[in-house]
Amino acid sequence: MDDCGYVMAGASLLLMIPVIIITAMILSLGEAHSDMNMERKLSACVEGAAWDIRDNVPIITMDVLNETAGEAINGTLPSDDVRDLVRERVQERIDRLCRSHRNVNASCRVNSVEGTEAPFQVEVNSTLEIRAGNIEHAENLSVRVTVDGLPDPLPFRVLGRLEHSNTTIEYGDALAEYLNSSGVDGGAYINAKGPLIIRRCPYEPYTSHGSEGVHACILNGYYHESRDGACYLCRLEGKTSCPHMGLETFIIPSKELGEAPVSIDHVLFNEKYTGEALNISGFIIYLDAGHMTKYGVRRQ
């Protein structure tokens, strides 16, 4: 090869070096772009799973509470720690939900299901962890779930099987006999009626009720906050009172007597003190001075 050939070969080599460098850069950028796309996809999967689990925790919890209350009503609810039972059932369903997200490794540990200072809610505390590739997400979830619209299990836990419609409990002789067995005359509560479904009273403050408001509460089966009543989880356990902020509702007697046990559920199931008869637009109920004041009702 003459000098000209060497020069041409060298020149060709020099020209190829930038091409090689540019090709390597393009390949590197392609790989980086591919990695970025993969990370975006994984990040979207993690974010989607997190939102799905967050959104479903209250739905799952409400379903579990409803089914557990149904067992209380049918007399098939175990007498074990109901809070732990509810937590375990919520955990089982959340585990199934986590497994349904196949593109990620998701777990949500339910730490507790407890009452709150707002007795129409229960609180679910859990720890959520999700991993996909190099993407990790962890957070502590605290979700409040309403009990508005759920059945009230307490009368069934105290008295056993009772006749009921979709909205109303028919107490028959059960409540009167329960009161009689406690040394209290239950004659006014033969064939008493009360609400089955927990519905939050919209009239606040409670002192604004008066006879008209109490009449609306009786017709609609409303429940009210009460420091003497039991919270929802304690109702599931059959506790007639508890240290938590609780609920109370009216149970409507069938007879008008001079006085009879106060027509409030936690009084009838627990304290059993008497009140005087009041005619509330045709409904006879018995209230003591404290509950008259609470609901803004005057003596008649």
Tens-digit pLDDT profile for residues 219-228: 999 999 999 9
Could you tell me the pLDDT band of residue 77, with boundaries at 50, 70 and 90? very high
User: Would you say residue 97 lies in a domain?
Assistant: yes
Q: What is the mean pLDDT of the chain?
A: 89
User: Would you say residue 164 lies in a domain?
Assistant: yes
Residues 94 and 226 reside in one and the same domain: no
Residues 163 and 91 reside in one and the same domain: no
User: Would you say residue 6 lies in a domain?
Assistant: no
pTM of the model: 0.85
User: Would you say residue 273 lies in a domain?
Assistant: yes
Mean pLDDT to the nearest integer, 13-34: 50
Enumerate the β-bridge partners of residue 279.
Answer: 284
User: Comparing C-alpha atoms, which of 7, 24, 106, 104 is closest to residue 57?
Assistant: 106
Residues 132 and 202 reside in one and the same domain: no
User: Comparing C-alpha atoms, which of 223, 218, 224, 243 is closest to residue 233?
Assistant: 243
Provide the domain limits for residue 265.
154-294
Residues 88 and 193 reside in one and the same domain: no
Residues 196 and 69 reside in one and the same domain: no
The total number of residues shown for the chain amounts to: 300
User: Would you say residue 299 lies in a domain?
Assistant: no
Residues 132 and 239 reside in one and the same domain: no
Question: What is the number of domains present in the chain?
Answer: 2
Give the end of a domain, one of 126, 146, 166: 146
How much is the pLDDT for 6? 46
Residue 294 carries which side chain, given as an amino acid letter? K
Cis before 153? omega within 30: no
Could you tell me the pLDDT band of residue 31, with boundaries at 50, 70 and 90? very low
pLDDT more than 70, % of the chain: 86
User: Would you say residue 60 lies in a domain?
Assistant: yes
Q: Beta 274-280 vs 283-287: how paired, if at all? A: antiparallel
Q: What span, in angstroms and rounded, lies between the C-alpha atoms of 293 and 275? A: 13
Give the end of a domain, one of 146, 172, 191: 146
Residues 268 and 166 reside in one and the same domain: yes
Residues 169 and 208 reside in one and the same domain: yes
Residues 73 and 172 reside in one and the same domain: no
Residues 106 and 162 reside in one and the same domain: no
Residues 170 and 290 reside in one and the same domain: yes
Residues 262 and 181 reside in one and the same domain: yes
User: Would you say residue 101 lies in a domain?
Assistant: yes
Residue 300 carries which side chain, given as an amino acid letter? Q
Give the end of a domain, one of 146, 181, 213: 146
Please return the burial class of 96, using the count of CB atoms within 10 Å of its CB with bins 0-12, 13-18 and 19+. exposed
pLDDT at 32 over 50: no
pLDDT at 3 over 70: no
How much is the pLDDT for 191? 98
User: Would you say residue 15 lies in a domain?
Assistant: yes
User: Long-range CB contacts (< 8 A, 24+ apart) of 94-103?
Assistant: 94/53, 94/56, 94/57, 94/60, 94/126, 97/52, 97/53, 97/56, 97/60, 98/49, 98/53, 101/45, 101/48, 101/49, 101/52, 101/130, 103/42, 103/45, 103/49, 103/132
Give tens-digit pLDDT for 252-278.
999 998 899 999 999 999 989 999 999
